[in-house]
Amino acid sequence: MGEMLSVGFNVVGFNWMSSPAATELETIVMDWLGKMLNLPKPFLFSGGGGGVLQGTTCEAILCTVTAARDKVLNKIGRDRIGDLVVYCSDQTHCALKKAAQIAGIHPDNIRALRTRRSDAFGLCTETLRSALADDVSEGLVPLYLCATVGTTSSTAVDPLRGSEHDIWVHVDAAYAGSACICPEFRHFIDGVEGANSFSFNAHKWFFTTLDCCCLWVKEPQHLVNALSTNPEYLRNKATESKKVVDFKDWQIALSRRFRSLKLWMVLRSYGAANLRNFIRSHVNMAELFEELVTKDERFEVVVPRNFAMVCFRLLPPRRPLRQGLRIGDCNRDHQEVARRGDRDRQGVRDPRGGGRSLPDPIRGRRLAHRSATSGRRGWWCRSKPRLCWRSSTYIP
């Protein structure tokens, strides 16, 4: 309904003057939502910061990287752009890489720090500290850290506390941020008070239609400095009074949709209590599912569940599948192997139909490829009836 109204009204509220209602509603809704998340006061309009609705997290990250870049370059000189370094983990969404590319960060200066299963794929503070120290000792300038709460692959959570460096910290909680409206999940963003910006996608898990990314910043002035333009045809008294918010200066584009209307509809029609209960019910379902999967010895839960996503996988069978299969180190792709097993039992079919077997060269090529990727020659061999599955430790 909110989406339909917003599209129907076709408000193009690039600045306060063009649509005071859209602008005011956005500031109100962002403060409501910030309070639901228990964001520290400096992120709210009522605390000197503020929130803005972007289309996507990619845009939110690009805007904040740009704000951080200009904040630093204004201090150290524009010609040092080649020295700026951005940090993230190897689990961070590619949104950061894209933002860094667009913002002119040297490709060699994007540090995707290695995570480990023992840290549940969260960023290791020690690894970060040493990367920062190395860069500083080489005369580089740490610019931006993207910490993720709920990574795309496994919903890992990066620690938000503590970098001694003067670096812009952005918290990307695209998926998991919604859960933090529940007091029992709020601890996942503990430490956000030390960050410069925070974003989550209401269009992921907050019952709002795409596109709707909520971004809060502590010091909107840095966004405005980096993103504002004031041509003659946009001049107006409201802007000049400096008492209004012109959201065009907080985003990439000039024109903008009336997104706050749909978020307002979600908040008003469900209410905070119902929204929390929806989230809880999803997490409960995931918890139950995780329990069932854990009890079933055919599966393995790969990383601990944090929210409503369960990462699990099918384990290789412990008994021989069939005669005629030799599998040494094939922990990876056991499904593929099982599938091949089925296909093999049926004979390899010609995709063109007709029930004919594929000619050997095609089969040969496929198997050669598999051998190359498994690093072992001939682990698939029909003619030698040997079979050995090794219990799996491989993480895709």
Ligand X SMILES: Cc1ncc(COP(=O)(O)O)c(C=O)c1O
Name the residue among 275, 271, 174 with its Cα closest to residue 215: 174
> Minimum Å distance from CB 118 to ligand X?
21
Q: Is 95 in the site for ligand X (CB under 6 A)?
A: yes
> Minimum Å distance from CB 181 to ligand X?
17
Residue nearer to ligand X on the CB measure, 141 or 227: 227
Query: Which of these ranges, 147-155, 229-237, 320-328, 334-342, lies near ligand X under the rule CB under 6 A?
Result: 147-155
Residue nearest to ligand X (CB): 56
CA distance 223 to 228: 8
> Minimum Å distance from CB 201 to ligand X?
5
Query: Which of these ranges, 102-110, 129-137, 171-179, 262-270, lies near ligand X under the rule CB under 6 A?
Result: 171-179
201 and 56 in contact (C-beta within 8 Å)? yes
CA distance 140 to 235: 40
Question: Partners of 148 in the beta sheet?
Answer: 172
130 and 95 in contact (C-beta within 8 Å)? no
Q: Is 57 in the site for ligand X (CB under 6 A)?
A: yes
Residue nearer to ligand X on the CB measure, 120 or 234: 120
Q: Is 374 in the site for ligand X (CB under 6 A)?
A: no
Phi, psi for 45 (deg, rounded to 5): -60, -40
Q: Is 154 in the site for ligand X (CB under 6 A)?
A: no
CA distance 313 to 243: 55
- Determine whether 234 is exposed, middle or buried from the number of CB atoms within 10 Å of its CB (0-12, 13-18, 19+): middle
Number of chain positions touching ligand X (CB under 6 A): 13
Q: Is 179 in the site for ligand X (CB under 6 A)?
A: no
143 and 80 in contact (C-beta within 8 Å)? no
> Minimum Å distance from CB 7 to ligand X?
19
Residue nearer to ligand X on the CB measure, 23 or 201: 201
> Minimum Å distance from CB 153 to ligand X?
9
Name the residue among 295, 329, 332, 290 with its Cα closest to residue 307: 290
Phi, psi for 321 (deg, rounded to 5): -70, -50
Residue nearer to ligand X on the CB measure, 18 or 91: 91
DSSP code per residue over 18-61:
T-HHHHHHHHHHHHHHHHHTT--GGGSGGGT-EEEEES-HHHHH
**Residue 133 corresponds to which amino acid?**
A
Question: Partners of 149 in the beta sheet?
Answer: 157
- Over the window 188 to 217, marking each residue x when it contacts ligand X by CB under 6 A and - when it does not, the resulting string is -------------x-----------x----
**SS3 label, residue 217:** strand
Among 14, 16, 121, 175, binds ligand X (CB under 6 A): 175
Q: Is 93 in the site for ligand X (CB under 6 A)?
A: yes
Residue nearer to ligand X on the CB measure, 145 or 321: 145
Query: Which of these ranges, 19-27, 51-59, 64-72, 290-298, lies near ligand X under the rule CB under 6 A?
Result: 51-59
Task: Tell which positions 238-297 bind ligand X, by CB under 6 A.
Answer: none
Sheet-wide strand order for 213-217: 50-54, 213-217, 197-201, 168-172, 141-148, 84-89, 110-113
Which positions touch ligand X (CB under 6 A)?
Answer: 56-58, 93, 95, 148, 151-152, 172, 174-175, 201, 213
